[in-house]
Amino acid sequence: MRMLWGGASASSQYEGGFELFNKGMDTQDCRRYIKRTDNATTSTRLLTRADIERAKYPLDGDFFPGRKGSEGLLHIDEDIEYLSELGIDIYRISIAWSRIFPTGEEETPNEEALNMYGDILKKLKSKGIKIYLSLTHYALPLALVEKYGGWKNRKLIDLYLKYAKVIFERFGEYLDFVVPFNEINTGFFSPFNGLGLLRDENREGSGYDLNDIFAGLHNQFIASAKVIELGKKMLKASFGCMAACFCYYGYSCNPLDQLKTLQYEQINQWFFTDVLAAGEYPYYMKKYFRDNDIKVEFLPGDREILRNNTADFVGFSYYQSNVCAFEEMEKTAGNLVVSTKNPYLKANEWGWQIDPVGMRISMNKIYDRYKKPVMITENSFGYNDVLEEGNIINDDYRIQYLNDHFEQIKLAIDDGVECLAYLLWGIVDIVSAGSLEMTKRYGVVYVDADNLGNGTYKRYKKKSFKFYKEFIEKEKNVVKS
Ligand code: BG6
């Protein structure tokens, strides 16, 4: 099959419509916008019980970007037209669990929301677009955080399976690719987004207990494998796993830099895909658990469930590469993790280091490790675009970024990597997941809105729209000829 080119988004960053279709409140609805500073990142990502109370009873002037997204539900028909005009082969969409089961525990699903999602999927299919469904992308019904403490409670596995079953029954015919969790390694770095764990301000260190984090991750691993087991009985779709890819380089050839790089890559990235794509906890975690006094509870049957239900493909998000140094050196920000600065690379305004070659390296490393097809489920350039007079957006920097990454993807394929698809992140602009800024844009379609939800939310094609459209057209023609 020819490699597919497409786009991607997430319900809480795109949809808006907090008050529509009887949605239940979820974790992403609780995240309040705070102007970007170093500390703001912690406050907007790692929520405490007090933050939840404030989200339920907001103060004047509080703004929760996840509730508005980029008003996707109000512009859905127009946005689908843009996707169709681009000629994309595949679109990655996520469903908000709390729209289907507002508290996660209702006896019956919310029909209104099911009809709404059914319509969207049908329209996409009618345009000849394949569907990649993320069953969850961070958004967890808030009631499950308040009642059970989030994913650290094993009870969530059954509730999640019940949700998955409804989705498969109703939408099975539309689904081509299914991934149970977005960036399964998020729970380790961002326990609120990934696992629905609340930060305890009175606790020393990060405010989290590593035992809770690893209990939550184990429950997600089991849930993921069980969803695959169920899905394979019900659907023809292909099932994957997905992690944020960090592409670590050792700062120098000092063996200590290299050792640290190996260890960082193991714990931050490989652990997650080793469990989901290779089917077992890797050997190196034994030492990590011992050193950090972590006990993961395996119930009878857990090992078999993981072993027998591995992912068909390995998805990954890639935005930038990271550097590990044994000694303390100057740092820069990155997606989820902080990196040592790489003297050979430039970075965007958020400090994320731009590295197209890292894409080729990552594709090779992942394919080599699992011998399963890979999929680039997120990539693009985060930039504060300017809407110029005449509603023009000259995002040449994004065209450059995309072009350079596409070249490296092709080189990786030439290396022999089997790649299913490339999905351009936030193809119609969406709210940033990390900083909650609307002005950190990734798309090829501009949405006229600011960080506080002001604006017309009108859509305008960026210069990169034409670039991506022509690129896809050419790809299709090359394969035909
Ligand atoms: C990934 C997430 O980590 O990175 C997305 O899956 C997110 O939800 C993307 O939007 C880019 O990060 P940010 O913080 O710039 O939105």
Cβ(127)–Cβ(82) under 8 Å? no
One digit per residue, pLDDT tens: the chain, 481 residues?
Answer: 789 999 999 999 999 999 999 999 999 999 999 998 766 677 889 999 999 999 999 999 999 999 999 999 999 999 999 999 999 999 999 999 999 999 999 999 999 999 999 999 999 999 999 999 999 999 999 999 999 999 999 999 999 999 999 999 999 999 999 999 999 999 999 999 999 999 998 998 889 999 999 999 999 999 999 999 999 999 999 999 999 999 999 999 999 999 999 999 999 999 999 999 999 999 999 999 999 999 999 999 999 999 999 999 999 999 999 999 999 999 998 888 889 999 999 999 999 999 999 999 999 999 999 999 999 999 999 999 999 999 999 999 999 999 999 999 999 999 999 999 999 999 999 999 999 999 999 999 999 999 999 999 999 999 999 999 999 999 999 877 6
- What pLDDT score does 421 carry? 98
* CA pair distance 250, 271, nearest whole angstrom: 19
Q: Tell which phi-psi region holds residue 233, choosing left (phi > 0), alpha (psi between -120 and 50) or beta.
A: alpha
* CA pair distance 269, 242, nearest whole angstrom: 10
* CA pair distance 480, 246, nearest whole angstrom: 35
Mutation test residue for ligand 1: of 378, 401, 424, 437, the one with most atoms within 8 Å of CB: 378
pTM of the model: 0.97
Identify each DSSP E strand in 31-85 by its residue range.
none
Cα 181 to ligand 1 centroid, rounded to whole Å = 14
Residue 378 falls in the annotated catalytic set: yes
Tokens in use for 391? Answer: 């509603």
Q: Which atom of ligand 1 is nearest to the CA of 434?
A: 14
* CA pair distance 447, 83, nearest whole angstrom: 14
**Any residues with Cβ below 6 Å from ligand 1, and which?**
10, 13, 182-183, 244, 317, 335, 378, 382, 425, 432-435, 440
Q: Which atom of ligand 1 is nearest to the CA of 10?
A: 8
- What pLDDT score does 40 carry? 61
392 forms beta bridges with: 388
* CA pair distance 53, 50, nearest whole angstrom: 5
- What pLDDT score does 333 carry? 86
Those residues whose C-beta lies under 8 Å from the C-beta of residue 382, and which sit 6 or more positions away, are: 319, 348, 349, 350, 352, 432, 440, 441, 442
The domains found in the chain, sorted by start residue, are: 4-480 (3.20.20.80)
**What per-residue string of b and e applies to 416-432 under the rule 16 or more CB within 10 Å gives b?**
ebbbbbbbbbbbbbbbb
**Side-chain-side CA neighbours of residue 301 (13 Å):** 4
Those residues whose C-beta lies under 8 Å from the C-beta of residue 207, and which sit 6 or more positions away, are: 46, 48, 199, 200, 201
Cβ(462)–Cβ(443) under 8 Å? yes
Phi first, then psi: what are they for 21, rounded to 5°?
55, 35
* CA pair distance 125, 131, nearest whole angstrom: 8
Mutation test residue for ligand 1: of 335, 423, 436, the one with most atoms within 8 Å of CB: 335
- What pLDDT score does 478 carry? 85
Any idea what the Cα angle at residue 269 is, between residues 303 and 286, rounded to 5°? Answer: 45
The CA–CA distances, whole Å, from 93 to 53, 124, 167 equal: 30, 10, 13
Closest CA to 29 of 167, 111, 142: 142
* CA pair distance 63, 73, nearest whole angstrom: 19
Any idea what the Cα angle at residue 137 is, between residues 158 and 4, rounded to 5°? Answer: 115
| Three-state DSSP class for residue 141 | strand
Give me the catalytic one of 15, 71, 265, 378. Answer: 378
Residue 107 falls in the annotated catalytic set: no
Closest CA to 94 of 35, 136, 156: 136
* CA pair distance 291, 244, nearest whole angstrom: 25
Distance of CA 199 to the CA centre of its chain: 21
- What pLDDT score does 37 carry? 75
Which residue do the tokens 């059914």 mark? 118
- What pLDDT score does 115 carry? 98
The CA–CA distances, whole Å, from 257 to 212, 262, 327 equal: 30, 9, 8
Which helix (H) or strand (E) element contains residue 324? strand 322-324
